[in-house]
Amino acid sequence: MAKLIRRHKAIVGLLLIAFPILWLGVSGVRQHLLAGTDQTYEELKVFSDVLDIIEKNYVDPVESKELIRGAIQGMINSIDPHSAYLLPDAYKDLQIETKGEFSGIGIVITMQDKMITVISPIEGTPAYKAGVKAGDRIIKVDGEETKAMMLWEAVKKMRGKKGTEVVITVWRKGVAEPIDFTLMRDIIPLESVRAHLLKPGYGYVRITNFREKTGLDVMAALQKLEQDKEPLKGLILDLRDNPGGLLDQAIEVADIFLDTGQIVSIKGRREAHSKTYMARKNKVKRPYPIVLLTNGGSASAAEIVAGALQDHGRCVVLGTTSFGKGSVQTVEPLRDGSGLKLTIARYYTPNGNAIQASGIVPDVVVERRDLSPSDDPTHPRMKEKDLKNHILADPSEDMPQDVKEKILDMRGVKVPGEGASDVVKRLVEEDNQVQRALDILTSWQILSKMSK
């Protein structure tokens, strides 16, 4: 497994229109379907019989290829919301989403109750600027109903050439009529790290997703902050609305702040799908306190970082409970250019806590007061536990009765297109979660002096 993971990328993020949820790269282990039991063999014979009957008797000619692909999709969709059968184009798109940029509208989506549902818009994108909200149900794309669409089909229809228009129609809780958004597609950059000095001695690093080189980008951002004439006394690490991404990058980021101990463990049914990742000693010491921000849009890879730093007492987690996506997917390339994304394991924080369907609970609960365009205090955030067929935190556990309960959550401040000074001003003056984090860091300095 160690060799497998080193050789291939892994994702811990939500399947989106703009970015992927924890993915264990291309495993490269091609497995063939074997009828392991008489019962399996009998069921496969029934499948063959149905296929034969349809091909010979259906009112219109149908291609067996399309029937089989539809059957595979139905099979995978029945097990959990993060496993998927990806047709060749969708498989290529998934590979693109961890690199560079692409053209689209900029939303993170999932399938909930058989409806295309927005997890969150990505800051600075056409969807974000237009006011698309978390929890919006996309019922039409360019007038075509989405109720019969697979997730990848909806993604394909909403993506397109920069400068072209697409109209999405959404149903929003509390709004009587569907809402039409006419969006101009644009390049969606997957820039993942932004950093600012909020005031002398206090830095701010925001990670929007975990893509290739995120660990290096965080390191570079910290080095720049640490080169200021006044030593860094505290850091705010903002993981709000971070839907996840590459597993190895989440591990790299956590490792920057940890010298020893476990970062995350992955446990699957097969021994080959289980592994524990340990921190390595850093050449550069970073002893300053950290306040880490989370909310309901913080998922998967973001939860790995938050859980690792929280369990080791390396940070104070502030905000609201994270999404709760604690499963690992592997993507197998298939012989026709398609791919199979399959949930193979759960991941656990250093203290052995399962994130699946529960999330990271903050040490200090602070809800977002001043809302971004995509927020609404009457509009509950969707969580992992709200997704149909979501897997349990542990296979032996029963889900609580409030599995359908949606936890109210707020989103962080968004400052697309502004200069650094404007960003800092809004963070310090308008973002109450950042304000509270800054108060904790400055108080930390005062109390530490008093205790000497």
The verdict on whether 311 is a catalytic residue reads yes
Residue 100 predicted with pLDDT over 80: no
Q: What is the mean pLDDT of residues 253-258?
A: 98
Segment (H or E) for 218:
helix 214-226
The verdict on whether 45 is a catalytic residue reads no
Two structure tokens written together for 398 = 């029963």
Instruction: Compute CA 57 distance to the chain's CA centroid, rounded to the nearest angstrom.
Output: 44
State residue 450's pLDDT score.
72
Residue 303 predicted with pLDDT over 60: yes
- Ramachandran class of 140: left when φ > 0, alpha when ψ lies in -120 to 50, beta otherwise: beta
User: Which residues neighbour 207 within 8 Å (Cβ) at sequence distance 6 or greater?
Assistant: 192, 193, 214, 218, 237, 238, 239, 242, 253, 302, 305
Q: Which of 129, 133, 275, 325 is catalytic?
A: 325
Q: Which of 298, 300, 358, 372 is catalytic?
A: 300
User: Which residues neighbour 146 within 8 Å (Cβ) at sequence distance 6 or greater?
Assistant: 115, 116, 138, 139, 140, 154
Residue 19 predicted with pLDDT over 80: no
d(CA 16, CA 119): 8
Q: What is the mean pLDDT of residues 124-153?
A: 90
Number of H helices, E strands in the chain: 11, 22
Torsion angle in degrees (nearest 10) through CA of 279, 285, 290, 296: -30
Q: Which of 186, 238, 255, 311 is catalytic?
A: 311
Q: What is the mean pLDDT of residues 275-280?
A: 97
Asked whether 449 and 359 are in contact (CB, 8 A), the reply is: no
d(CA 67, CA 81): 22
209 or 98: which leads in pLDDT: 209
Q: Which residue has the tokens 């929007």?
A: 208
State residue 23's pLDDT score.
52
Interior/surface letters 170-207, b for 16+ CB within 10 angstroms, e for the rest: bbbeeeeeebebebebbebebebbbbbbbeebbbbbbb
Question: Tell me: the pLDDT tens digits for 318-363?
Answer: 999 998 999 988 889 999 999 999 999 999 999 999 999 899 999 9
Q: Which residue has the tokens 């925001």?
A: 206
Residue 389 predicted with pLDDT over 90: no
State residue 376's pLDDT score.
44
Residue 375 predicted with pLDDT over 50: no
DSSP label at residue 125: S
| 193-326+345-450 fold | 2-enoyl-CoA Hydratase; Chain A, domain 1 (3.90.226)
Residue 155 predicted with pLDDT over 80: yes
Domain boundaries, the chain: 2-92, 103-189, 193-326+345-450
State residue 451's pLDDT score.
64
Two structure tokens written together for 416 = 């697309």
The verdict on whether 300 is a catalytic residue reads yes
CA-nearest of 124, 108, 117, 14 to 373 is 124
Residue 175 predicted with pLDDT over 70: yes
CATH number of 103-189: 2.30.42.10
Asked whether 1 and 275 are in contact (CB, 8 A), the reply is: yes
Q: What percent of the chain has pLDDT over 70?
A: 79
Two structure tokens written together for 426 = 């809004």
Residue 17 predicted with pLDDT over 50: no
d(CA 29, CA 340): 12
User: Which residues neighbour 234 within 8 Å (Cβ) at sequence distance 6 or greater?
Assistant: 201, 202, 203, 288, 289, 290, 291, 438, 441, 442, 444, 445
Asked whether 427 and 204 are in contact (CB, 8 A), the reply is: yes
Torsion angle in degrees (nearest 10) through CA of 244, 187, 118, 23: -30
State residue 81's pLDDT score.
84
